[in-house]
Amino acid sequence: MRPLTRAAAFAVGAVAGYLADARYADPRRGHPVAVFGGAATRLERRMWRDDRATGAAYTTLCVGAVAAGAVALERTAGRRPLGRAALAAAATWTVLGGTSLTREARTIGRALAAGDLPAARERLPHLCGRDPSALDGQQIARAVVESVAENTADAVVNALAWGALAGTPGLLAFRAVNTLDAMVGHRSPRHARFGWASARLDDVAGWPGARLTALLTVAAAPQPRTAWRVWRRDGSAHPSPNAGQAESAFAGAVGVRLGGTLQYGERVEHRPVLGAELRPVTVDDIERACALSRRVGALALGTTVAGHVLLRSLLRRGRA
């Protein structure tokens, strides 16, 4: 029996890691991403300066350490096909967050369906950074659907897309980039300059996966034509170069209107409306968005496996 090729070993590992996320979600303690976040926080306290150059050095150190470590692990595990597959499985499980995402969204949906608005408000910060104190049930439902759309790109499709391009190091490096953006990439007085490089790097790294998310959403939509129309018309209206791609496609796929005024603590944003001709979000749309997210994730896994195998095959032919 012939041993697994590198591409096949990664494919087997990616499928195993995806299934592990579907079955077990994120571990509650000792999650590698949380460990990375703790180390990055300690480094930020030592390095922080109110300038972009220091922030760029900080981003390079954090992401570079993860990428270099992943390459070293892959070379060590690469001597055995099962080792490569196991490493890919562990990395895939580490970086994916699709199951935790839909569980949180459904928890809020159940609270809203039961009329427990305080519980829904209390739970919303687990899903997104908005101030829930003044939100009514419809506004919370809209926030949940928007968060499911955006995080389907960030927590599932983008990571898998980088796995297709660069294998296990791509998976882990993207998660490091995305985690840093969540930590220091937001517009706050402390991080406006220091976090600039992390935010811009996340924009670049998220560009291909955001468009792939929109395409896969159209493919998975009950009404693909509506999803395509709203995405192509409204996807670039969002202030983020990437978030609007997934949110507009989800708006069309679910058949709801997203966007508008948002509040993050003391900061208020007036975003363009996505799918303005569609109906407002209802509580039932949370489940529709979650089911759509799972379909998109499954399609992304298939795209990743096929894309990685094809890319490795082309590289081998090129070397030959």
Residue with the larger pLDDT of the pair 82 and 211: 211
Cα–Cα distance measured from residue 261 to residue 234, given in angstroms and rounded to the nearest whole number: 16
Q: pLDDT band for 319, please (50, 70, 90 cuts).
A: confident
Amino acid at 285: D
- In three-state secondary structure terms, 27 is coil
Tell me the residue ranges of DSSP E strands in the chain. 258-264, 267-274
The stretch 47-66 carries a mean pLDDT of 96
pLDDT digits (tens, 9 = 90+) for 263-288: 555 566 667 899 999 999 999 999 99
Cα–Cα distance measured from residue 144 to residue 125, given in angstroms and rounded to the nearest whole number: 10
Under 8 Å CB-to-CB from 296, ≥6 apart: which residues? 152, 156, 157, 213, 216, 217, 220
pLDDT digits (tens, 9 = 90+) for 179-221: 999 999 877 888 999 999 999 999 999 999 999 999 999 999 9
Contact 49, 195 (CB under 8 A): no
Cα–Cα distance measured from residue 247 to residue 229, given in angstroms and rounded to the nearest whole number: 13
Residue with the larger pLDDT of the pair 314 and 198: 198
Q: Which two tokens stand for residue 10?
A: 């990664």
Read off the DSSP letter of residue 281: P
pLDDT digits (tens, 9 = 90+) for 134-188: 889 999 999 999 999 999 999 999 999 999 999 999 999 999 999 999 999 877 8
Contact 284, 145 (CB under 8 A): no
Cα–Cα distance measured from residue 73 to residue 85, given in angstroms and rounded to the nearest whole number: 12
Cα–Cα distance measured from residue 160 to residue 141, given in angstroms and rounded to the nearest whole number: 27
pLDDT at 259 over 80: yes
Report the first-to-last Cα separation within the chain, whole angstroms: 24
| Model confidence, pTM | 0.92
Would you state the torsion angle of the CA atoms of residues 215, 220, 225, 227, taken in this order, to the nearest 10 degrees?
-60
pLDDT digits (tens, 9 = 90+) for 9-36: 999 999 999 999 999 988 777 789 999 9
Amino acid at 140: I
Residue 320's Cβ-count burial label (10 Å; 0-12, 13-18, 19+) is exposed
Residue closest to 12 by CA, chosen among 168, 220, 176: 168
pLDDT at 250 over 60: yes
Percentage above 90 pLDDT, the chain:
77
Residue closest to 141 by CA, chosen among 19, 246, 237, 281: 281
Under 8 Å CB-to-CB from 254, ≥6 apart: which residues? 145, 285, 288, 289, 292
Q: pLDDT band for 116, please (50, 70, 90 cuts).
A: very high
